[in-house]
Amino acid sequence: MTPASRLSAAIEILADIEARRRPAADVLKDWGLSHRFAGSGDRAALAGLVYDALRRRASARWLLGADTPRATLIGMLVLQRGETAQTLAGLLSGERFSPEALSADEQGALASRRLEDAPPEIQADVPHWLWPSFEAAFGADAVQEGRALAERAPVDLRVNTLKATREKLLAELEPLGAVPTLLSPLGIRVPLGPEGRSPSVQSEETFRKGWFEIQDEGSQLAGLIAAARPGEQVLDLCAGGGGKTLEFAAAMDNKGQIFATDNDKRRLAPIHERLERAGVRNVQVRTPRGALPIDDLAGRMDMVLVDAPCSGSGTWRRNPDAKWRLRPSSLADRQKDQAQVLRAGAQAVRPGGRLVFVTCSVLPDENDASVRTFLADHDDFTAMPLGGLAKSAGFSGFGRLASAGGLGLQLSPQRSGTDGFFVAVLQRR
């Protein structure tokens, strides 16, 4: 495919995403199946165009003065990839498989509009209805935080200390340009490849040996703050694919017991293979059959992790289409889910134990607000001070990571160089 034909295909895919409100990954997969002439390089380039356009959808459309898939793509090419009206003329000609040439209106918009004149939510590429909550989270830094969430995410790995050390893994991954993460002592960051492509780290022999897992540095920090210790009894209540379960097992040196479950058994499916590859021996996976299978754990757990359902706003770098599909009703539904799972988790915590509440969100409505509501209904729990949380994770400077409501730590691309995560530790008296 020529560069111009890729642009035409990207506009087509963006139109499909918008018309049918489907996840971008599904639309890209269907497009590839119905256009088998496109090679792997073409499909990768198309995915890059589509995801970058979705990252900058609001600002791109404002720049072009039009709410169309074409405007989304053209605006992104200017804002994200440095194209100009002059360079675009070579790509947009209207000739064979090429998008139509820039119209007079489009040329006028590009010549006269500057993003600095747009409303702050447009500059930040945050949905208009979410802006008050987003601004409450970050204050004067909200625009910069939004822009950081519109960038591509790096690839972070967590060394599995049951099988390797970070130094040993860094030496093995040196050809990929791997470097230590700044905050997590377990993390390694691998730079993106040409055209922003993610390196194929899962093809590395060290991955097959179980030396590392793919895990964002923010998620690693959340696990470190939870501070699972050898010999403890731990419940991972929303375990999903098992990322934090694996982190806990390594921190506990396979000593003690971890119970991993999730209300959606399909999400648990990958955990078994991952546990085997990582050499984990202290995890009991409990597949639900109706209600969560934790009644026998009531009052027994030293630590319960609630990696709660949320908007996923902290992962917009990786899932940019998700922010445009989010609706107020879905946000309210996630808040109800959080309250329910927190209540369930609290019942399993022993006196003196801790309930760790984690979201991959940056919105106070489902972070501090959810913790505040829980504490109001559970007077036998109290929030741990922020200094203690940062000390658990082994890093300083926690003051800059305090959440808007002060009940936990708020990680974000601009603040911590990670995905957006909220972490609060609630101790039972």
3-state SS of 116-162 is HHCCHHHHHCCCHHHHHHHHHHHHHHHHHHHHHHCCCCCEEEEECCC
Q: Report the share of the chain in percent with pLDDT over 70.
A: 97
Looking at residue 190, its amino acid is V
Do 190 and 272 share a domain, yes or no?
no
Of the three residues 183, 214, 245, the one that is the final residue of a domain is 214
What is the pLDDT, as a whole number, of residue 125? 98
Do 286 and 345 share a domain, yes or no?
yes
Do 285 and 308 share a domain, yes or no?
yes
**Which entry of 79, 157, 360, 383 is annotated as an active-site residue?**
360
What is the pLDDT, as a whole number, of residue 54? 97
Mean pLDDT of all residues in 66-86 = 95
Of the three residues 214, 239, 261, the one that is the final residue of a domain is 214
What is the pLDDT, as a whole number, of residue 395? 66
Mean pLDDT of all residues in 278-286 = 97
What is the pLDDT, as a whole number, of residue 398? 66
Mean pLDDT of all residues in 164-175 = 97
The annotation status of 307 as a binding-site residue, yes or no, is yes
Task: Residue 374: give the domain boundaries.
Answer: 217-428
The annotation status of 365 as a binding-site residue, yes or no, is no
pLDDT in tens, 95-136: 888 999 999 999 999 999 999 999 999 999 999 999 999 999
Local structure of 213: helix, strand or coil: strand
Interhelix angle 142-149/131-138, nearest 10 degrees: 110
In angstroms, the CA 38 to CA 34 distance is 9
Local structure of 65: helix, strand or coil: coil
The Cα-based distances of 26 to 32, 37, 186, 205 in angstroms read 10, 19, 33, 29
Kindly tell me if the per-residue pLDDT of 388 is higher than 80: no
Contacts with 34 (C-beta within 8 Å, 6 or more apart), sequence order: none
Kindly tell me if the per-residue pLDDT of 257 is higher than 80: yes
Kindly tell me if the per-residue pLDDT of 427 is higher than 90: yes
What is the pLDDT, as a whole number, of residue 220? 96
Do 107 and 206 share a domain, yes or no?
no
Local structure of 210: helix, strand or coil: coil
What is the pLDDT, as a whole number, of residue 131? 97
Do 253 and 170 share a domain, yes or no?
no
Phi, psi of 351 (to 5 degrees): -55, 130
The Cα-based distances of 304 to 233, 322, 345, 424 in angstroms read 9, 28, 6, 12
For residue 394, what is the domain's CATH number?
A: 3.40.50.150
Q: If pLDDT is split at 50, 70 and 90, which confidence band does 392 have?
A: low
Q: If pLDDT is split at 50, 70 and 90, which confidence band does 197 have?
A: confident
What is the pLDDT, as a whole number, of residue 8? 95
Of the three residues 59, 85, 115, the one that is the final residue of a domain is 115
What is the pLDDT, as a whole number, of residue 198? 82
Is residue 76 within a helix (H) or strand (E), and if so which, with residue range? helix 69-79
Kindly tell me if the per-residue pLDDT of 196 is higher than 90: no
Do 208 and 285 share a domain, yes or no?
no
Residue 130 lies in a domain: no
Residue 122 lies in a domain: no
Residue 139 lies in a domain: no
Residue 121 lies in a domain: no
Kindly tell me if the per-residue pLDDT of 397 is higher than 70: no
Do 259 and 195 share a domain, yes or no?
no
Do 277 and 333 share a domain, yes or no?
yes
Instruction: Identify which has the larger pLDDT, 400 or 167.
Output: 167
- Please indicate whether residue 238 is annotated as part of the active site: no
Residue 185 lies in a domain: yes
In angstroms, the CA 168 to CA 182 distance is 18
Do 97 and 48 share a domain, yes or no?
yes
Q: In whole numbers, what is the pLDDT of the chain averaged over residues?
A: 94
What is the pLDDT, as a whole number, of residue 26? 94
Q: If pLDDT is split at 50, 70 and 90, which confidence band does 387 have?
A: confident
Domain count, the chain: 3
Q: If pLDDT is split at 50, 70 and 90, which confidence band does 258 have?
A: very high
Kindly provide the residue ranges of all beta strands, DSSP E only, lying in 294-339, ordered along the sequence. Answer: 301-307
Instruction: Check if the beta carbon of residue 98 is closer than 8 Å to that of residue 74.
Output: no
What is the pLDDT, as a whole number, of residue 108? 95
Mean pLDDT of all residues in 310-336 = 93
pLDDT in tens, 40-51: 889 999 999 999
Residue 143 lies in a domain: no
Do 182 and 264 share a domain, yes or no?
no
Residue 134 lies in a domain: no
Kindly tell me if the per-residue pLDDT of 212 is higher than 80: yes
Do 286 and 419 share a domain, yes or no?
yes
Kindly tell me if the per-residue pLDDT of 291 is higher than 90: no
Lowest mean pLDDT among 286-295, 312-321, 376-385, 402-411: 286-295
What is the pLDDT, as a whole number, of residue 48? 93
For residue 208, what is the domain's CATH number?
A: 3.30.70.1170
What is the pLDDT, as a whole number, of residue 111? 94
Q: If pLDDT is split at 50, 70 and 90, which confidence band does 389 have?
A: confident
Do 191 and 227 share a domain, yes or no?
no
Instruction: Identify which has the larger pLDDT, 257 or 42.
Output: 257
Residue 128 lies in a domain: no
